[in-house]
């Protein structure tokens, strides 16, 4: 990633000499970082989220306090949540802008580890600045220090190493220069981006140093659009031309690279159908003739049937997770081949594919030129049209599903989808909601669908929704969250109130962990450990037991106590009215909806590998194991060159 520094006259040196503390230098540097793509420049850091403690209050805290004009400080309620908010923001900005996040040492720092893993798995940039123990070691062990008996240079922050794309510990002031430049290279790299962690010992943060003036000049990091090798592009085009049943799988890279128009042009000309990953959903509007919908373990009937018979699969901007490949059972044609378009070589190489290492938009535009005059056969177009029409009718059926004593999750999704505008954004992350949304949400805008499913992190929803709103204040943001996930990280409702960032939160209460309850039943375990119930005779209860002893928990009252305006909806009709009312309220709204735990959206000719026990005293587990062995027989290594 190339960067250029603009002349010193672009920076007001009168207000900041070169002698600065490490924390002050860091803030000054971050404020001057800009990214440029396609001639448009973007300030890379929108601000800094933080919670202060003894490890950063006198360092980064003092620097932010001293110069609020350089980097806006945002107060958070939970360290993990602040990273989720930064990720939601960065994803909404197509990874061209993000936040820094600062914490104290000890639990404040380790609370961020989950957020770091989420950012790295999802290939989304965020800068983490955890405080660390004293570099001088004069007073150790200090409060909250983890002592390793075999090593003196270990701290709790070493937990960040495996979940960060780049990690450094700044133990001397002069190390900050190389650390910051290396951090920016990774953060702005479309191929390598993820969480970047700079651990900052609390004494070093406050130490002064004579930093070079050039470090604080406005620095522009260019985000290029590289093309794959011409010979490889020609070979890939030949493979596509020879295919009889090609299928394109659109991943998050299509949206991040702003390649949706290029994708539309390619498939309109060629007739190649498109299945979408969770991150790629919205690459085509739901009613596009080539849009087959979500693919894989949470995919649609249309996409999964097309996948099963595809002789060539073109992956664009996807990392090929097990959900996308249905644990390597989705693509069943005996001679299936893969062509992968990805800016990251790691992902382009998967499934022994023809590797097109390059920017998604530039590569799709070049493929369109190479495929000029070619299209799939009319019979294949007709088959695609029939499958997509059949699927659209199935979505309509599930949106209007009735008969259960409580609203079903599919009815709630249908109500929100029908009420929302095309540019509104739906946000979710964990439980059964992502799978149902992947199947059922009718996307109309490339940025209208925001489901975190790389890490599928419970608790992401509200914090991530806040990040989306900060990035797109003119859009309505609808957060769909289950009761289990809500109980893990609900407190950023307070931050949304503080920052006047209105969210509309649909809190779906199914009295426990319904998604894993369903998985448990499929494995013969009867929902063990997934219901919210009193302990009776040593047990919390199973799904097959008829018990009416749910816990006296009022999540709606909890949301109100955090400052949200709360509406309750016990029926689909009341939900429609609540959505209408919420639109006119000027602060975060929580619509509390009790939903049916057992009325689930079906699976559609797909599978996800979760092995049941080989040995058990329960016949249901034996049957689950037999079903598993039958399904596993369809797995493919996808190793053909």
How far is residue 30's CA from residue 378's CA, in Å, rounded to a whole number?
55
For the chain, the straight-line distance linking the first and the last C-alpha, in angstroms and rounded, comes to 31
Identical topology for domains 230-391 and 403-540+551-594? yes
Q: What is the pLDDT of residues 404-450, one digit of tens each?
A: 789 999 999 999 999 999 999 999 999 999 999 999 999 999 999 99
This model's pTM is above 0.85: yes
How far is residue 497's CA from residue 228's CA, in Å, rounded to a whole number?
47
Confidence of residue 640 (pLDDT cuts 50, 70, 90): confident
Contact 344, 192 (CB under 8 A): yes
Q: Please, is 222 exposed, middle or buried when counting C-beta atoms within 10 Å of its C-beta (0-12, 13-18, 19+)?
A: middle
Residue 622 contacts by C-beta under 8 Å, 6 or more apart in sequence? 524, 616
Return the residue matching tokens 């382009």: 348
141 cis-preceded (ω within 30 degrees of 0): yes
pLDDT at position 398 is 96
**Is the model's pLDDT at 39 over the cut of 50?**
yes
Number of alpha carbons in the 13 Å side-chain half-sphere of residue 20: 27
**Is the model's pLDDT at 15 over the cut of 80?**
no
Residue of 638, 555, 552 whose CA lies nearest to 593: 555
Confidence of residue 546 (pLDDT cuts 50, 70, 90): confident
Query: In the chain, pLDDT over 90 holds for what percent of residues?
Result: 93
DSSP string, 212-275: -GGGGS-EEEE---PPPPHHHHHHHHHHHHH-SSEEEEE-HHHHHTT-HHHHHHHHHHH---EE
How far is residue 503's CA from residue 520's CA, in Å, rounded to a whole number?
33
Q: Kindly state the helix (H) or strand (E) to which residue 84 belongs, with its residue range.
A: helix 79-92
pLDDT at position 547 is 85
**Is the model's pLDDT at 312 over the cut of 70?**
yes
Tell me which architecture the domain covering 230-391 has in CATH.
Answer: 3-Layer(aba) Sandwich (3.40)
User: Which of these CATH numbers, 3.40.50.970, 1.20.120.420, 1.10.1660.10, 3.40.50.11540, describes 3-222?
Assistant: 3.40.50.970
Q: Please, is 403 exposed, middle or buried when counting C-beta atoms within 10 Å of its C-beta (0-12, 13-18, 19+)?
A: exposed
3-state class (DSSP) for residue 354? strand
> Tell me: domain 403-540+551-594, CATH 1.10.3720.10, correct?
no
pLDDT at position 606 is 95
Confidence of residue 2 (pLDDT cuts 50, 70, 90): low
pLDDT at position 18 is 84
Contact 456, 122 (CB under 8 A): no
How far is residue 497's CA from residue 445's CA, in Å, rounded to a whole number?
27
CA 458 to chain centroid, in Å, comes to: 12
Which backbone phi and psi does 206 adopt, to 5 degrees? -95, -5
Which backbone phi and psi does 195 adopt, to 5 degrees? -75, 135
- Tell me the pLDDT of the chain averaged across its residues: 95
Handedness of CA 535, 536, 542, 548 (dihedral sign): negative
Contact 84, 455 (CB under 8 A): no
**Is the model's pLDDT at 205 over the cut of 50?**
yes
Q: Can you tell me the mean pLDDT for 385-394?
A: 98
How do 589-594 and 504-509 pair as beta strands?
parallel
Q: Can you tell me the mean pLDDT for 490-500?
A: 98
Contact 133, 201 (CB under 8 A): yes
Residue ranges of domains in the chain: 3-222, 230-391, 403-540+551-594
pLDDT at position 498 is 98
**Is the model's pLDDT at 49 over the cut of 70?**
yes
Handedness of CA 457, 459, 462, 467 (dihedral sign): negative
């Amino acid at each position: 990633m190339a960067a250029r520094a603009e002349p010193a006259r672009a920076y007001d040196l009168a207000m900041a000499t070169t002698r600065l503390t490490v924390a002050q230098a860091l803030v000054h540097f971050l404020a001057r970082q800009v990214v440029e793509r396609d001639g448009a420049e973007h300030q890379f850091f929108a601000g800094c989220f933080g919670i202060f403690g003894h490890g950063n209050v006198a360092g980064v805290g003092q620097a932010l306090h001293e110069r609020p004009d350089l980097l806006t400080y945002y107060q958070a309620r939970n360290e993990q949540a602040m990273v989720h908010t930064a990720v939601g923001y960065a994803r909404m900005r197509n990874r061209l802008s993000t936040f820094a996040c600062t914490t104290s040492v000890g639990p404040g720092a380790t609370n961020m580890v989950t957020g770091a893993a989420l950012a790295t798995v999802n290939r989304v940039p965020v800068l983490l600045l955890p405080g660390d123990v004293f570099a001088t070691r004069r007073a150790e062990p200090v409060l909250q220090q983890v002592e390793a008996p075999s090593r003196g240079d270990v701290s709790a922050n070493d937990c960040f190493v495996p979940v960060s794309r780049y990690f450094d510990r700044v133990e001397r002031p002069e190390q900050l220069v190389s650390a910051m430049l290396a951090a920016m290279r990774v953060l702005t790299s479309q191929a390598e981006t993820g969480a970047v962690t700079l651990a900052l010992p609390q004494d070093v943060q406050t130490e002064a140093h004579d930093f070079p003036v050039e470090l604080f000049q406005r620095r522009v990091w260019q985000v290029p659009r590289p093309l794959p090798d011409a010979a490889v592009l020609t070979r890939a085009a030949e493979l596509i031309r020879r295919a009889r049943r090609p299928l394109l799988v659109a991943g998050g890279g299509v949206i991040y690279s702003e390649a949706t128009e290029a994708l539309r042009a390619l498939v309109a000309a060629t007739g190649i159908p498109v299945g979408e990953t969770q991150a790629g959903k919205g690459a085509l509007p739901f009613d596009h003739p080539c849009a087959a919908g979500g693919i894989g373990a949470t995919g649609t009937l249309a996409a999964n049937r097309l996948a099963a018979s595809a002789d060539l699969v073109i992956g664009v901007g996807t990392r090929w997770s097990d959900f996308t490949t249905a644990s390597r059972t989705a693509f069943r044609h005996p001679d299936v081949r893969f062509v992968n378009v990805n800016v990251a070589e790691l992902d382009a190489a998967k499934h022994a594919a023809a590797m097109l290492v390059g920017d998604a938009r530039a590569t799709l535009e070049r493929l369109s030129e190479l495929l000029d005059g070619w299209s799939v056969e009319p019979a294949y177009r007709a088959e695609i049209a029939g499958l997509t029409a059949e699927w659209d009718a199935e979505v309509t059926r599930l949106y209007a599903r009735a008969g259960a004593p409580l609203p079903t999750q599919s009815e709630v999704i249908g109500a929100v989808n029908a009420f929302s505008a095309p540019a509104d954004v739906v946000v979710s992350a964990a439980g059964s909601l992502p799978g149902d949304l992947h199947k059922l949400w009718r996307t109309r805008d490339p940025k209208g669908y925001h489901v975190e499913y790389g890490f599928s992190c419970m608790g992401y929803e509200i914090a991530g929704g806040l990040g989306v709103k900060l990035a797109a204040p003119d859009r309505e943001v609808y957060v769909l969250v289950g009761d289990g996930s809500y109980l893990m990280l609900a407190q950023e409702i307070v931050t949304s109130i503080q920052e006047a960032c209105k969210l509309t939160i649909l809190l779906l209460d199914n009295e426990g962990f319904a998604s894993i309850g369903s998985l448990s039943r499929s494995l013969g375990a009867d929902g063990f450990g997934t219901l919210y119930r009193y302990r009776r005779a040593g047990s919390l209860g199973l799904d097959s037991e008829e018990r009416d002893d749910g816990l006296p928990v009022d999540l709606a009252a909890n949301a109100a106590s955090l400052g949200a305006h709360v509406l309750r909806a016990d029926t689909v009709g009341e939900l429609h009215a609540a959505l209408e009312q919420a639109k006119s309220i000027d602060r975060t709204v929580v619509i509390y909806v009790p939903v049916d735990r057992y009325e689930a959206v079906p699976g559609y000719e797909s599978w996800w590998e979760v092995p049941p026990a080989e040995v058990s005293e329960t016949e249901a587990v034996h049957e689950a194991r037999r079903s598993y062995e039958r399904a596993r027989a369809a797995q493919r290594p996808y190793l053909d060159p």
